Structure 1
Amino acid sequence: MARYRGFALLGALVGVVALVCAAIIGGFGLLGTGSGAFWGGSGDGSRDSRAQGRTPVGTAAPASSDSWTGTWAAAPVGVERFAPFGFPGHSIRNVVHTSIGGTSVRVTLSNLYSHKPLVVGRASVAVGNGGAEAVAGTMRQLSFGRKPTVTIPAGGQIVSDPMPMRVPYDSDLLVSLYTPQAGGPVTFHSQAMQTSYLAGGDRTVDPTRNAYTRPAKVWRYVTAVDVLNRDSPGAVVAFGDSITDGVKSTNDANRRWPDVLAARLRDQHMGVLNEGIGGNRVLGDSVPFRAGAAGVSRFQRDVLDRAGVKVVVIDLGINDILRGRETDPTKITNGLRELTRQAHARGVRVVGSTLTPFGAHRGYNPVTESVRDRVNEEIRSGRVFDEVVDFDRALRDPYAPDRMRPVYDSGDGLHPSDAGYRAMGSYLNLQSLVGKAQADL
């Protein structure tokens, strides 16, 4: 009996050691897959979801202290027109805005749309102090597989090593990288509604703004920023077109509707990631026009592979009507159902929006309005998404339902004003983000 008790004690000790090792691997080993590891194989830039260090989706439990949650993201849309060889000999300083904070940070850099490798000579992250200037004492040099330099293959991406750093909530971060030599075209996000900067030479760890004299309202190479936050239950991804991207909102002011949602969720420590692309469609690829891959194609990469994702809010389909000239509403709603199926396969909840009014836009006519109406009718039926947020109802003029209220119209009849985006972000019922019922597809 003493032998059996000894074996039992030994087994218990082995079990404890195994649990400790599992915790270490969960916190850092999987990040090793993402730190200095590449995903390129198929050329679409998607990455192994096992490298995300996420908490199990579909649960309400907070993320553990060794789980990553996205605080910011932007979808790659294509290549920058006037940078066919990148920016050799220059530093790129991207200004991004956090939704939640944390105790460590990691950054994803993408070379998705280039046909050549990208050499990153050095990279850094710092808390922003306005424009390209860093808050004193916050500059941190990033590493990749414990090395300061890295080469990202054509069509690939890389996640930096974890960097201990106090990341504030609702604040700017400066993500800088130096590219010492020519590469292929720059993978970027246009229509950022945020000013980033370019400087000659290696200025990645320069905390001042002096050298960063070339502004541009785009994000180059950076596609995600994640944080460690023990209080976070996960992240919400906003997936859509220019209306989600915040086109026509005030520059450098963070007044997109996902920004409004992020402010409402801040006390709950929930990250909000904006994966909108101007001109994007559910069904049609628009990469050559810098409007991104089709929603059904990019959903895995831009939503399901994001750290800590628990729920996605989808507002997509207007460009299928206006740009894709789709006249069959069933094709659009079937595409939206496919997004819901992909999300459900990963345990992610789906909240979907009705298509907003565009009666004062040049693309309006009786046919396009009829398609929009029929798409909205099917969305409201509850047979497309788990839950519906009726952004059409939130924005429309009660006296002219095919148009936005004048105060919500930016002036082009399609994109909301700051007030319109505020109305959208305020209209979404937060309880819809935590429900369990799935749509009957």
Structure 2
Amino acid sequence: MTGTADTTSRSLLRFATAGSVDDGKSTLVGRLLYDTKSVLADQIEAVERASVDKGMSTPDLSLLVDGLRAEREQGITIDVAYRYFGTPTREFVLADTPGHVQYTRNTVTGASTAELAVLLVDARNGVVSQTRRHAAVLSLLRVPRLVLAINKIDLIEYDQAKIADIEREFTELTRSLGFTDDAVQVIPVSALVGDNVAFRSGNTSWYTGPTLLEHLESVPVDGPDADAPFRMPVQYVIRPRNGAESRSADASLGDLHDYRGYAGQVASGTVRPGDEVVVLPEGHRTTVSEVRTADGPLAAAGAGLSVTVLLADDIDAPRGALIAAASDVPEVTSEIDATLCWLAEKPLLPGARLLLKHGTRTTQVIVGALGSRLDTETVSYAAAPEKLEINDIGRVSLRVADPLPVDSYARVRTTGGFLLIDPPTGNTLAAGLVGDPLAAVPAAG
């Protein structure tokens, strides 16, 4: 029986945390988990016992999240940890990223899929070089919304003037990086005692904005990819040879014995039956005849939804092809000017032969000339280096063996992003962004 799939559920927000070492990020994450009752009773008891042993009068909630032994020994977070929790309003996936400068690459990893980032500063220190570094990375990755959590306000006796000075300096920074004022929320908090995290504080009567949890529950979750043109990389082609295989491969297709379906996740935009699309890189044009999930046909499918698309014409669209809106077609090119976030210990040199993974397609690539390098501390571009070292962010030209349909990362994050891979080991070496997402950043000097 034909019907319409029900895709309604609690909304999901993916967000990341960032901040300098000792700004209290682990305590803030622990406070969120604790106040939303997202940890087990025995975990809380263990934290309370450990806190008493350390002579603390309040629970050390950072112990809920600093799980690696090395982190506890050093007192810093050194890896990206993903936390899952929820409230009656919304579900959350939190990427808890490192604060130390040598782990900037992990911040890139954690923030790459975030719809919002929470950036912490210590109220005693205000905006520091690592704050600027993280803000630059978040802008580079086009994270659409940003929260500045001014932490440890209890240690400055809830000084409103001091907090206003930090907010003013941070606003100047975010404006220079391209954030609009309505995309940035500043919230004064104390993760240790719980001020304005999940519950409003009586110590900040002058603050009229939301608590951190209220903001996370209410902020719109539609990222920039929702309003971008339709893009869907083909993950798998469904083409049974007879009726039995048809029904076993995709029961929702019922009695359709002769069909070709293209399965994948909608990377951006929306697709509907009747839409004119183009299959790239070949460039064949056709029309969408159906959009389906396992629950049945859909009137429309938006970014993030995994679907099977049926086309009006019998077109060869293998795994790795891109189905895109015919009214707004990405560029198909073998020459890519990009920005790289170098993640590997081994430096990148011009002439390196690597693999490039874009969407569901992997091809060979040769690294050309290195361009300017981003100085994330001063948020300015410096002269071109001889090589890119670990944590470096720099401009580079690439030549790929197979033409790829790409968008600028500033416009469509999914089809504007790629990975560079080491051929012998399969290890990821770099996160790549097509174009220059920080085009407005000035040159050094």
TM range (shorter): under 0.3
- With structure 1 as the length reference, what TM-score do the two structures score? 0.27
Higher Rg of the two aligned structures: 2
Q: Which has the higher strand share?
A: 2
- With structure 2 as the length reference, what TM-score do the two structures score? 0.27
Where relative contact order (Cα < 8 A, 6+ residues apart) is larger, the structure is 1
